[in-house]
Amino acid sequence: MSPRTPTIALQTHALSTGYSNPVLHLLENMSLTLHAGELVCLMGPNGVGKSTLMRTLAGLQRPLAGSVTLEGGAGMPPEHQVAVVLTEKIAGMNMTVYELVTFGRYPYLDWNMRLREEDKKIIGQAIAQARIHGFTHKKLYELSDGQLQLVMIARALAQDTAVILLDEPTAHLDLNNRVEIMKLLKRLARETGKAILVATHELDLALQTADILWVAGKDKTLLTGLPEDLVLQGTLDDIFQLKGFDLKTGQIYHTAFRNKTVALHGEGYLYRWTRNALERNGYNIAASAPTDVTVTVEPGDRPSWQLQEGTAQKVYYSLKEVLQAL
Ligand X SMILES: Nc1ncnc2c1ncn2[C@@H]1O[C@H](COP(=O)(O)OP(=O)(O)OP(=O)(O)O)[C@@H](O)[C@H]1O
| Residues lying near ligand X in the complex (CB under 6 A) | 19, 24, 26, 44, 46-52
Q: Which is nearer to ligand X, 107 or 217 (CB)?
A: 217
Q: SS3 for 78?
A: helix
Q: Which is nearer to ligand X, 24 or 175 (CB)?
A: 24
Q: In angstroms, give the least distance from the CB of 157 to ligand X.
A: 24
The DSSP secondary-structure symbol of 113 reads -
- Number of Cβ within 10 Å of residue 289's Cβ equals 12
Q: SS3 for 289?
A: coil
Q: Find the angle CA(142)-CA(181)-CA(59) to the nearest 5 degrees.
A: 95
Q: In angstroms, give the least distance from the CB of 49 to ligand X.
A: 4
Q: Which is nearer to ligand X, 190 or 220 (CB)?
A: 220
Q: In angstroms, give the least distance from the CB of 44 to ligand X.
A: 6
Instruction: Return d(Cα 166, Cα 54) in angstroms, integer.
Output: 8
The DSSP secondary-structure symbol of 139 reads B
Q: In angstroms, give the least distance from the CB of 52 to ligand X.
A: 3
Q: Which is nearer to ligand X, 52 or 149 (CB)?
A: 52
Q: In angstroms, give the least distance from the CB of 86 to ligand X.
A: 11
Q: Which is nearer to ligand X, 38 or 167 (CB)?
A: 167
Q: Which is nearer to ligand X, 48 or 150 (CB)?
A: 48
Q: In angstroms, give the least distance from the CB of 189 to ligand X.
A: 22
